Structure 1
Amino acid sequence: MSDTSASSSAGATQRAAPVARVAFLGLGVMGYPMAGHLAKSGLDVTVYNRTASRATQWASEYGGRTAFTPRDAARGADLVLACVGNDDDLRSVVLGDEGAFAGMTAGTAFVDHTTASANVARDLSALATERALHFIDAPVSGGQAGAQNGTLTIMCGGDPAAFERARGTLELYAAAVTLLGDVGAGQLAKMVNQICIAGMIQGLSEAIHFGQRAGLDMARVLDVIGKGAAASWQMTNRGPTMLEGKFDFGFAVDWMRKDLGICLDEAKRNGASLPVTALVDQFYGDVQALGGNRFDTSSLIWRLRRVNPAD
């Protein structure tokens, strides 16, 4: 990995201009509003989604165009963006006769916002290079709210020149866009992000569980400790809903388990020890077994309450 780094929020003296014409592949809970920001900013946007009715709905709302295949969407685009489910989904929209690479013009970049493996990023980058294309892995953090509000954090890996050409477009739905190194660096940084989140949510769940068992007014406790060293985004944004037992929103447990599986696989490859992450992954497996597959990741407290129903 190179030491090259660049950021839209640190040291950039001039905002990079957005491109004129983009393709956006994947209109899930993240991609739908992200593509919407591009259209509202005046870009010429063509969208593709595996379920075509979703693309039709998006075009009706934002005024862009739809395409029947990734290749058709990518044809003539200055930049191709994607946000799909996993490694296999990514390959399906990139490769083959109807894949995005087949429709892209030499010299353009494919920016992948999927949380995927570093290996698939490197593999697709090598294939892109064979076609005189660029590939940037650019997973995001900030959840559905960040996508809707245009305040995502984007962690990127790829060629610095290609990154700079893409950066102004990415900034239309992000608060921070940072190049962290070569292809794969973005995905590795997202793994770091998910490892941090898993540990913090489990710690917060145990703290709330402990405080409730001790008879404390946990709303007041979270308010006061949230002003000190224990403060975190999770405490501020998920602590109150954890107290209320509300989990029907946010980043689903199924998605988190997919992400943690990627982290644990990469740790096997690079030799990192992740005992807490492995344990929390098992706890999320318990949540799934209890029927909480689509619950927000903060549902780790729900698991504790099911195991210890006195709360």
Structure 2
Amino acid sequence: MAKQKVAFLGLGVMGYPMAGHLASAGYEVCVYNRTATKAEAWVKQHGGTLGATPAEAVKDAELVFACVGNDDDLRQICIGEQGAFEAMSSGSIFVDHTTASAQVARELYQVANDKGLGFLDAPVSGGQAGAENGVLTVMVGGDSDVYARAEKAIDSFARACRLMGESGSGQLTKMVNQICIAGLVQGLAEGIHFAKRAGLDAAAVVDVISKGAAQSWQMENRYRTMIDDEFDFGFAVDWMRKDLGIVLDESRSNGAQLPVTALVDQFYADVQELGGGRWDTSSLIKRLKH
């Protein structure tokens, strides 16, 4: 049987390994990246082909995946000049893994629907390590029949994948994820800072409390590097502020009260002022030392 052809648009720290998992799963993958050298490196490593534009990459693809930077980037690859939607075949599906607004998801869903295309907003959680190891959590918004057709391919790089509701629901679920992470990281930063100021062995403290109700993924995976003042791991502060900006914009529309999220967003602004825009999100502890 011929391999199913898919396309992947955007080969950043997440998209590059995600596309690789699709290739490893037996799909015929055509990739596109704004910086062509990244696409060339991917093809050299994984095989497949590359397209010079989104439109070229998606030709004859049954499924098109994307993971880009923000709403504007997403619109550009979908409906901009040489965008994917004009070249996709009727009945094919666009799966967007960008963390973007629910508004742009609904907008592009409608444009796709009018063109006879399926569209799923499917942001991910799990960071670079999750992408590289193929164990991402994928939160999906869109039509159930479209999701059913795309689920097997998404499973190539996912540990968990769930349809959360109509278009935009995936992005809204990712916002909840970021709200929870923001509060957890700030709590962990304050806990470690307090332990050190109290003269305790911070590593020993976290080791014991992580066996109880305080346990979290952030605690298990970030406490040692936080203690060691190392912040070159995982999701960058600049990206988190972009995500929290989306969250706070949405909260102003739906009336949700997010005082802790708004406060932590400003704490991340302080980290940026310290020159830490590319430090990972656990660098919140740095501002407590200043």
TM above 0.5: yes
Q: How does 1:285-300 map to 2 (within 5 A)?
A: 285-300=269-284
For residue 156 of structure 2, give the secondary structure of its aligned residue in structure 1. coil
1:7-26 alignment runs, 5 A limit: 20-26=4-10
Q: How does 1:183-262 map to 2 (within 5 A)?
A: 183-262=167-246
> Is 1:111 aligned to residue 100 of structure 2?
no
2:130 is equivalent to residue 146 of structure 1: yes
Residue in structure 1 matched with residue 165 of structure 2 by the alignment: 181
Give the Cα–Cα distance (whole angstroms) in 1 for the partners of residues 141 and 207 of structure 2. Answer: 38
Maintained 8 Å contact 1:96/1:102: no
Residue from 155, 159, 166 that aligns with 2:150: 166
2:86 aligned with 1:102: yes
Q: Is 1:90 the counterpart of 2:74 in the alignment?
A: yes
Match for residue 48 of structure 2?
64
- Local SS of the residue matching 2:167: coil
25, 43, 48: which is aligned to 1:41?
A: 25
CA-to-aligned-CA distance 1:107-150 (integer Å, 9 cap, x gap): 11100000000000000001001101111000000000000000
The match for 1:124 is: 108
What residue ranges of structure 2 are gaps of 5+ in the alignment? none
Counterpart amino acid of residue 130 in structure 1:
D
Runs in 1 of length 4+ with deviation above 2 angstroms?
Answer: none
TM-score, with structure 2 as normaliser: 0.98
Counterparts of 1:56 and 1:251 in 2: how far apart (Å)? 25
The equivalent residue for 1:8 is: none
Q: Secondary structure at the match of 2:29?
A: strand
Structure 1: runs of 5+ lacking an equivalent: 1-18
Aligned residue type for 1:279: L
- Write out per-residue CA displacement over residues 290-309 of structure 1, whole angstroms, 9 at most, x where no aligned residue: 1000000000001111x2xx
1: CA distance, partners of 2:152 / 2:25: 12
The number of residue pairs the alignment matches comes to 288
Does residue 1:279 correspond to 2:257, yes or no?
Answer: no
Aligned partner letter, 2:124: V
TM norm structure 1:
0.92
Identity %: 64
In the alignment, the residues of structure 2 paired with residue 94 and residue 125 of structure 1 have an alpha-carbon distance, to the nearest angstrom, of 11
Out of 59, 65, 72, which is 1:81 matched to?
65
